[in-house]
Amino acid sequence: MKEIIGSSILILGYGAEGQSVHRWLKKFYPRLKIGIADKKRDKNYLDAIKNYDTIVRSPGIPADSPALLKASIAGKQLTSATNIFFSVCPGKIIAVTGTKGKSTTASLIQTILSTAYPDVRLVGNIGNPALNYLDGADKNTLFVIELSSYQLEDIRYSPFVAVILDIVPEHLDRYRNFETYVAAKSQIVRFQSTSDYVIFNQSHKIPAGIASQSSARKIHFSLDTPLPMSNIPLLGQGNLENCLAAVTATKIFLVPASAIRQAIKNFRPLPHRLEKIGRHRGIIFYNDSIATIPQATIHALNALGENVATLIAGGFDRGLDYSELGKFLVNRKGLKNLILFPDTGDKIWRAILAAAEKQKHPLYLMKFPVSSMKQAVNIAFAKTGKGKICLLSPAAASYNSFKNFEVRGDEFKKQVFTAPLLSNPSPRR
């Protein structure tokens, strides 16, 4: 197999994807010398690279890290679980990338295709390491794979169908600048041929630019495409776009329109994505922990309307710009309480103050700094009026307080169900 050269292979990073590589290698290459190097096991884990012929990079390790660049110069074979998967996959691959909406769009595509095809597998960044799902696959198997920028950095293959959602600044703690992040996303079409397809929203400049680089057949969609929102059990314009992308992709496979409509109607939101937790003590709670960028929070607030009285936001600082969110929140009707986590909670509040001063707009928002989800939910219960919405939509990553956005969302739900009755806290300015 061309992705593996020599007699020894090092799995660099041993998370879920690294472990899937290990299982796959033991099954198909039992005679290989297999090593594992992970920073949780050894702080000098990168030193092991020199002892192996092939290095399998996990997504958490940048493809342009000095240790890997040095290994490449030394003649080592550098690859990844994604490259291995593409190289051995017997069926057709539909890949989805973008900044937000990847999981929902990929899940929609898998759901729709499953109405017409017997073997459709959802894999990739959604939490299903692709190598785990190859057993029993053949040329008729369809794989829908969600691809992050981390997985695309060094990819040497392109999918039969590439779906490119909107791309906005994120992961700026990983990339030198936004342009480098976009370049990683662009890799999805780099190796496409004229028999492939690329799907994109023509109104989004960056996806349209990436699509123009592809040799594939180009199919664009628009938010002006008729698709009655009453048939979509998902909230917001962002989810309308996800549905349009999925519909456009599945039409390539000649799925009947009636089956597409029924599949979308029966689809249910994924956890942590504008997930309605329910009504508790008269307050309606929504979990949108997946919102790790300001634009996602703006989309969430627009989707839920002016009944949102309390917003829980803030988290790990990845160098994002919060000025647009500040302008939006200053003018947001119905919003009264901002419950803010460090570190970006302060940045969000400063952006609000700057917007209010520039617009000469009176500020009615109350600020509540918090350090725990328990504290945040207690304040939400005390300050959110009956019949109003409390929304967790952080506009930031979770890593300074939680392992990931799923853990953050689960903790939010847990605290909503278990919070005791407390007295009213005082806001801080």
Task: Find the distance separating the first CA and the last CA of the chain, reported in whole Å.
Answer: 62
User: Does the structure show a pLDDT above 70 at 135?
Assistant: yes
The CATH topology of domain 275-418 is Protein-Tyrosine Phosphatase; Chain A (3.90.190)
Dihedral angle computed from the Cα positions of residues 98, 104, 107 and 113, in that order, rounded to the nearest 10 degrees: -80
**The pLDDT of residue 104:** 98
Looking at residue 228, what is its pLDDT? 61
Q: What is the CATH number of domain 89-266?
A: 3.40.1190.10
When pLDDT is cut at 50, 70 and 90, the band that residue 427 belongs to is confident
Strands 217-221 and 308-313, by their bridges, are unpaired
Sorted by where each begins, the domain ranges of the chain are: 8-80, 89-266, 275-418
Task: Please check the confidence at residue 216 and state whether its pLDDT lies above 70.
Answer: yes
Per-residue confidence (pLDDT) for residue 429, from 0 to 100: 60
Round to whole Å and give the CA distance between 85 and 107.
Answer: 19
Do residues 88 and 223 lie in contact, with contact meaning Cβ atoms separated by under 8 Å? no
Residues 187, 151: contact at Cβ < 8 Å? Answer: no
**Helix then strand then coil, % of the chain, to nearest 5:** 40, 20, 40
> Residue 231 pLDDT > 90, yes or no?
no
Question: pLDDT tens digits, residue range 334-353?
Answer: 999 999 999 999 999 999 99
Tell me which of 253-257, 313-317, 360-364 is least confident: 360-364
Average pLDDT over residues 290-316: 97
Mean pLDDT rounded to a whole number for the chain: 95
pLDDT at 117: 98
Q: What percent of the chain has pLDDT over 70?
A: 97
* Contact between 162 and 178 (Cβ < 8 Å): no
Closest among 233, 237, 153, 213 to 187, alpha carbons compared: 153
Q: What is the mean pLDDT of residues 371-376?
A: 97
Please tell me the class of the 8-80 domain.
alpha beta
Q: Is-contact 351 377, C-beta < 8 A?
A: no
The pairing of beta strand 120-124 with beta strand 337-340:
unpaired
Cα 44 from Cα 50, distance rounded (Å): 12
Give the mean pLDDT of 35-49. 95
In one letter, which amino acid is 126? I
Q: What pLDDT does 5 receive?
A: 95
Let me know: does 112 contact 162? Beta carbons within 8 Å.
Answer: no
Instruction: Specify the amino acid at residue 247.
Output: V
**How is the beta sheet containing 92-97 ordered, strand by strand?**
120-124, 142-146, 92-97, 161-164, 197-201, 217-221
Confidence of residue 412 (pLDDT cuts 50, 70, 90): very high
Half-sphere exposure of 55 (CA within 13 A, CB side): 29
Residue 266: count other Cβ atoms within 10 Å of its Cβ: 10
pLDDT of residue 393: 98
Per-residue model confidence (pLDDT) at position 229 = 59
Q: What is the mean pLDDT of residues 21-40?
A: 96
Average pLDDT value for residue range 72-85: 97
Q: Is the pLDDT of residue 257 over 70?
A: yes
Percent of the chain with pLDDT over 90: 93
* DSSP code at position 128: B
Task: Determine the 3-state secondary structure of 20 from DSSP.
Answer: helix
CA 334/CA 202 separation, integer angstroms = 33
**pLDDT at residue 9, as a whole number:** 98
Q: Are 283 and 381 in contact (CB under 8 A)?
A: yes
Is it the case that residue 107 has pLDDT exceeding 70? yes
Segment 138-163, tens digit of pLDDT: 999 999 999 999 999 999 999 999 99
Cβ pair 96, 147 in contact under 8 A: yes
Q: What is the pLDDT of residue 1?
A: 78
Contacts of residue 40, defined as CB under 8 A and 6 or more positions apart, other chains included, come to: 14
Q: How confident is the model at residue 227 (pLDDT cuts 50, 70, 90)?
A: confident
For 287, how many CA atoms within 13 A lie in the half-sphere containing its CB?
A: 24
